[in-house]
Amino acid sequence: MMNYNKLTPEEEYIILHKGTEMPFTGVYTNLKDAGTYICKRCNTPLYKSEDKFESHCGWPSFDDEIPGAVKRVMDRDGRRVEIVCANCEGHLGHVFEGERFTAKNTRHCVNSLSMIFVPKEG
């Protein structure tokens, strides 16, 4: 078994039990600093700040992931596509396509509590 970071009860609810934080409450929703977002459970790098954009949906949004870091699986509701950390399978959020927010036409809608932001050095 891998050693994972200790999670708070709220983080466990989201990451292990596929919960969702309330919109517009996440610490990273409006963050624009340069850096990398890593998985809160296992520290795997997931997203780069240059792929983050403002979608006004209430959660941090990215139009691309670090290659190989995020796995897509059909959500239990059968309609949405869930995104999980490819390393530990911790729940991140959902991915939506065809909304035309960016040229890549993809929106990863991610819970702030699923990630840790690591500022770019320098």
Which residues are known to be catalytic? Answer: 109
Q: Which residue has the tokens 């610490």?
A: 27
Buried b (16+ CB within 10 A) or exposed e, 37-65: bbbbbbebebbbbebbeebeeebbbbbeb
Q: What is the spatial distance between Cα 96 and Cα 108, in angstroms, rounded to a whole number?
A: 7
Q: What is the spatial distance between Cα 37 and Cα 29, in angstroms, rounded to a whole number?
A: 12
Q: What is the spatial distance between Cα 104 and Cα 119, in angstroms, rounded to a whole number?
A: 24
